[in-house]
């Protein structure tokens, strides 16, 4: 069954402190995947910018730039970070744009693990 995109507005209202009807589990799971990606992406982006002096492009180009910056390294930890970030972005895109997503609960678990892994790797760089 196709996702009811109005669920995101209901969830946004709840997160914003407005009382509304309960949101669906699917809306919460999709949002969890999206938030996990942005937690990892922003941490990785800020590491490049603040610790390594990279100038990060704005908007959509930033996502590709950050992944490529880590992929281009010979360091296996950076390669592992890049792989997870790319996979996590793919999951986020599916959660944010596809009307139907199969095995969403598995995507949530993987996304949370990959985001945690990325943040842990960043502490070692």
CATH architecture assignment, domain 25-122: Up-down Bundle (1.20)
- 8 Å CB contact between 122 and 44: yes
Helix ranges (DSSP H) in the chain = 6-15, 25-52, 60-71, 76-97, 104-122
Report residue 18: phi and psi, to 5°: -90, 140
pLDDT tens string 69-113: 999 999 999 999 999 999 999 999 999 999 999 999 999 999 999
Residue 58 DSSP SS3: coil
Whole-number pLDDT of residue 14: 83
Token output for 41: 């992406």
Alpha-carbon distance of 11 to 80, in angstroms, equals 33
Neighbours of 37 (CB within 10 A): 25
pTM of the model: 0.90
- 8 Å CB contact between 121 and 77: yes
């Amino acid at each position: 069954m196709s996702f009811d995109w109005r669920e995101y507005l209901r969830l946004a209202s709840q997160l914003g402190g407005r009382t509304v009807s309960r949101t669906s589990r699917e809306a919460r799971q999709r949002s969890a995947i999206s938030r996990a990606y942005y937690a990892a992406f922003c941490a990785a982006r800020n590491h490049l910018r603040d610790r390594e002096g990279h100038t990060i492009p704005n908007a959509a180009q930033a996502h590709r730039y950050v992944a490529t910056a880590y992929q281009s390294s010979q360091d296996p930890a950076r390669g592992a970070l890049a792989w997870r970030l790319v996979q996590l972005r793919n999951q986020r895109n599916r959660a944010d744009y596809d009307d139907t997503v199969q095995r969403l609960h598995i995507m949530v678990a993987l996304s949370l693990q990959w985001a945690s892994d990325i943040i842990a790797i960043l502490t070692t760089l």
